[in-house]
Amino acid sequence: ERPKIFATRGIPSPGMDLLQEECDVTVWPHARIISHEELEESVVGVDGILCHYINKIDDHILDAAGPNLKVVATFAVGYDLIDVEACHKRNVRVGHTPNVLSDSVAELAVALILASSRRLRQGMAAITNGLADGKWENGLYLCGPETKGSTVGIVGLGRIGLAVARRLKGFDVAKFLYYDVNEVPWAAEVSAEFTSFEKLLTESDFVVACCSSNTDNWGLFDKAAFKKMKSSAVFVNVTRGVLVNQDDLYEALTTGQIFAAGLDATTPEPISKDHPLVKLDNCVILPHIGSSTTATRNTMSIMTAKNILAGIKGEPLVQCVKNNEN
């Protein structure tokens, strides 16, 4: 009998084709994100679950799946919503897709840095709505801070943070600061200086959140944090919405505590079009598309499929989440 896989979303065909050669794959058929209850109902008796960063995989899901379940593979690098310990207790392996998406997420971080500092949202609106008369007379129309000569503070100098710094070096950034749980040796490559969170906030012109999410850093960017930032600072988040207190961010953006923000992650996702942050013209929000280049998504699909195929055969996964790995 062919192994049964439930997928909470579709993945590109290079990976899907691989999976379907050996497995019966059922994909959640609706455009909306599957609810936790619907996921529980959908996984009964499966051998593998293909999920996404947005799906919570906990005891309820694992119990519902039952004893056939051998592998949970997320089409993502982040696995903050997967209860890895609960999976391992049941001998269920957990796979993810690190490394292959670092460059595309970093590229989007740079896009958000530029879009929010150079006020692309306002510039585009000026074109689509028609330019108000006289707006550009004083020569400072739609001006913003520049990356050249700036200090960039990277929160989480992991694979993605490093890839952001590598790219920004080419923009003649003057200084990189980073804050992380530990000092990391690869910081030397981009001459990034290990610093306290407070110093990073106070001194950076651009603050870029690249760290993975865990309960310790939920709400890290709150009122106190935004107050420490420069009024000209630009804040960018390409990781998880939970890192940010969005009410505090709204206040910071509307009272001139910071200049602008660029977010690829929000709470919830997708964020409602009626959310106050969405109305702000100094806030650029994207629907979590950090890894969304065609090449990266195809590569991720293959890695995810190989993780599942290895898992159902009891072989080592291509990229396995271990117990204490962060």
Binding flag, residue 304, ligand GLV (CB under 6 A):
no
Active-site residue, selected from the candidate residues 36, 60, 275, 288: 288
Is 36 among the residues known to form the active site? no
Instruction: Choose between 53 and 250: whose C-beta lies nearer to ligand GLV.
Output: 53
Alpha-carbon span 185 to 29, nearest angstrom: 45
Residues in 262-291 that interact with ligand GLV by CB under 6 A: 290-291
With tokens 């996404």, the residue in question is: 52
With tokens 């006020």, the residue in question is: 119
Instruction: Choose between 52 and 121: whose C-beta lies nearer to ligand GLV.
Output: 52
Q: What are phi and psi of 151, to 5 degrees?
A: -105, 125
The dihedral formed by the CA atoms of 234, 236, 242 and 244, expressed in degrees to the nearest 10: 0
* Paired tokens of 34: 């599957």
Strands 234-237 and 260-263: parallel
* From 212, 217, 257, 296, residue interacting with ligand GLV (rule: CB under 6 A): 212
Residue 77 CB, shortest distance to ligand GLV, in Å, is: 4
Q: What are phi and psi of 175, to 5 degrees?
A: -155, 140
Residues in 3-32 that interact with ligand GLV by CB under 6 A: none
Instruction: Choose between 78 and 311: whose C-beta lies nearer to ligand GLV.
Output: 78
Binding flag, residue 145, ligand GLV (CB under 6 A):
no
Binding flag, residue 302, ligand GLV (CB under 6 A):
no
Count of other CB atoms within 10 angstroms of residue 178: 26
CB of 150 closer than 8 Å to CB of 173: yes
* Active site amino acids: 288
Binding residues vs ligand GLV (CB under 6 A)? 53, 76-78, 98, 101-102, 158-161, 210, 212, 290-291
